[in-house]
């Protein structure tokens, strides 16, 4: 054998062995952005080994997935009342805390009742809010069920849901939220409606979880990415969206979550880094006082709920920012504002600990679990999992965040 041929053979052998090593190690790694891929891989390994601690959450996931198989597909074109644009492909929803003025014959303009949901705002005839919520939750449920079991039924259903919502010309959503959270008598879409878009992140993550199946073609993934690029452009240039970006409460936090995710998903990594580099100052320092309180959330009629809600968004933003090497957790510092906020809210994982302010109803304190899980990773000396044990075990054990902590609220 000639020396050149020998060298070539050796190089090919080395290359094949490296590919083989990579495949054996990473074959179960999902290309997720919000969910931690290594955590997911570890969860799958534990389930395959019949880990008893994960069984309640896994069983609940599969029960939810079987229900999700029977639901949908969902489309914005199912509404019977046209949005203000007159185009059924435009997403439309109505602000949940706005009600007709009973002193006016036509009820206009609507009045705000913070924390009190107007049932009409959830109408399937005029609003897509329940549809986008079901899309996000079901794609996540089915995608995770597929990843952990390999059952192709789940992958095929995710593919159907994504095709109908994003790709099919007869049913797809236009990439904008111009008419989200309309307030009759005030506007035909409000900046707060941009919040609804966070639910599409769950849907896209579901698509990432089935990436190693044959349910979606390469071309279809490319078309979803193209849709996402258009939505990212709307999110970062539209006047309504930019007004939401300027919000200094949970709305601003969830705007950043969307902006970061869609930047990464659509391939705008440099833009994602620019966004992430501004977040600690513009969101964390601006919203959280040194004692860990968040004044804008405390001013609401449901202060504990909104404190948890905003902290959930900021925790997910901090997790996403690691993708572009930006530390929003500020784990190496003793004065981390994000840690201070977690420390302030963590004691309320105990259902017997009463919130000190007047509040409209109680919050679902189990939403704290995923936050405390992420906090434990960011601050290993924090004993946050010990605080999480105050949550009722019967509820805690079935939570999906046992399978992967990065869960959207």
Q: What is the pLDDT of residues 336-384, one digit of tens each?
A: 999 999 999 999 999 999 999 889 988 999 999 999 999 999 999 999 9
pLDDT (tens digit per residue) in 52-105? 999 999 999 999 999 999 999 999 999 999 999 999 999 999 999 999 999 999
The SS3 assignment for 310 reads helix
Pairing of strands 111-112, 98-99: antiparallel
With residue 111 as reference, give the H or E element that holds it.
strand 111-112
The rounded distance, in Å, linking the Cα atoms of 373 and 406 is: 9
| Sign of the C-alpha dihedral computed for residues 279, 283, 288 and 290 taken in this order | positive
The yes-or-no verdict on residue 389 having pLDDT over 70 is yes
With residue 400 as reference, give the H or E element that holds it.
none
Residue 332: predicted pLDDT: 67
Q: Is 325 left (phi over 0), alpha (psi -120 to 50) or beta?
A: left
Pairing of strands 92-94, 111-112: unpaired
Q: 185-201: buried (b, 16+ CB within 10 Å) or exposed (e) per residue?
A: eebebbbbbbbbbbbbb
The average pLDDT across 136-152 equals 98
**Distances from the Cα of 396 to the Cαs of 364, 388, 393, in angstroms?**
12, 9, 5
The SS3 assignment for 23 reads helix
What are the start-end ranges of the E strands in 119-240? 179-182
The SS3 assignment for 98 reads strand
pLDDT (tens digit per residue) in 146-186? 999 999 999 999 999 999 999 999 999 999 999 999 999 89
Which residues, other chains included, contact 52 with Cβ-Cβ below 8 Å and sequence gap of 6+? none
The average pLDDT across 390-396 equals 96
Cα-based angle 314, 319, 325 (whole degrees, multiple of 5) = 120
The rounded distance, in Å, linking the Cα atoms of 113 and 98 is: 6
Which residues, other chains included, contact 281 with Cβ-Cβ below 8 Å and sequence gap of 6+? none
The average pLDDT across 118-145 equals 95
Count of Cβ atoms closer than 10 Å to residue 36 Cβ = 19
Percent pLDDT > 70 in the chain is 93
pLDDT (tens digit per residue) in 249-266? 999 999 999 999 999 999
Confidence band (pLDDT; 50, 70, 90) for 409? Answer: confident
Residue 8: predicted pLDDT: 39
**Distances from the Cα of 2 to the Cαs of 6, 9, 14, in angstroms?**
6, 11, 18
Residue 380: predicted pLDDT: 93
Burial of 219 (0-12, 13-18, 19+ CB in 10 A): exposed
Residue 51: predicted pLDDT: 97
pTM listed for this prediction: 0.91
Residue 6: predicted pLDDT: 47
What structural domains does the chain harbor? 57-246 (1.50.10.100), 248-409 (1.50.10.100)
pLDDT (tens digit per residue) in 281-298? 999 999 999 999 999 999
> Which of 2-11, 93-102, 133-142, 238-247 has the least mean pLDDT?
2-11
**Distances from the Cα of 263 to the Cαs of 12, 80, 114, 211, in angstroms?**
37, 33, 32, 19
pLDDT, the chain, mean: 92
The rounded distance, in Å, linking the Cα atoms of 346 and 369 is: 9
């Amino acid at each position: 054998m000639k020396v050149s041929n020998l060298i070539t053979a050796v190089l090919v052998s080395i290359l094949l062995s490296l590919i083989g090593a990579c495949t054996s190690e990473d074959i179960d790694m999902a290309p997720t952005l919000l969910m931690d891929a290594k955590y997911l891989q570890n969860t799958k390994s534990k389930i395959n080994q019949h880990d008893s601690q994960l069984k309640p959450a896994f069983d609940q996931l599969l029960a939810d997935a079987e229900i999700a198989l029977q639901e949908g597909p969902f489309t914005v074109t199912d509404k019977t009342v046209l949005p203000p644009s007159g185009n059924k492909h435009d997403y439309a929803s109505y602000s949940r805390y706005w009600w007709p003025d009973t002193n006016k014959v036509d009820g206009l303009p609507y009045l705000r009742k913070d924390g009190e949901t107007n049932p009409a705002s959830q109408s399937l005839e005029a609003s897509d809010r329940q549809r986008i919520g079901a899309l996000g939750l079901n794609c996540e449920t089915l995608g995770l069920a597929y990843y952990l079991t390999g059952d192709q039924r789940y992958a095929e259903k995710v593919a159907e849901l994504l095709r109908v919502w994003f790709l099919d010309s007869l049913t797809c959503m236009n990439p904008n939220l111009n008419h989200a959270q309309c307030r009759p008598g005030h506007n035909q879409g409000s900046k707060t409606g941009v919040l609804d878009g966070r639910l599409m992140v769950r849907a896209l993550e579901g698509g990432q979880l089935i990436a190693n199946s044959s349910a979606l073609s390469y071309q279809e993934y490319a078309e979803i990415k193209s849709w996402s690029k258009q939505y990212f452009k709307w999110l970062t240039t539209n006047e309504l969206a930019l007004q939401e970006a300027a919000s200094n409460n949970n709305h601003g936090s969830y705007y950043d979550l969307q902006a970061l995710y869609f930047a990464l998903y659509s391939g705008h990594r440099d833009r994602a880094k620019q966004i992430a580099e501004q977040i600690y100052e513009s969101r964390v320092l601006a919203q959280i006082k040194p004692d860990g309180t968040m004044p804008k959330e405390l001013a609401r009629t449901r202060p504990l709920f909104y404190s948890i809600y905003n902290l959930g968004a900021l925790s997910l933003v901090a997790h996403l920012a690691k993708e572009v090497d930006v530390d929003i957790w500020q784990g190496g510092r003793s004065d981390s504002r994000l840690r201070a906020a977690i420390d302030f809210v963590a004691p309320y994982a105990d259902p017997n600990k009463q919130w000190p302010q007047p509040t409209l109803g109680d919050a679902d304190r189990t939403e704290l679990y995923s936050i405390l899980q992420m906090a434990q990773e960011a601050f290993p000396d924090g004993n946050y999992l010990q605080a999480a044990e105050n949550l009722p075990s019967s509820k805690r054990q079935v939570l999906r965040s046992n399978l992967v902590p990065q869960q959207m609220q």
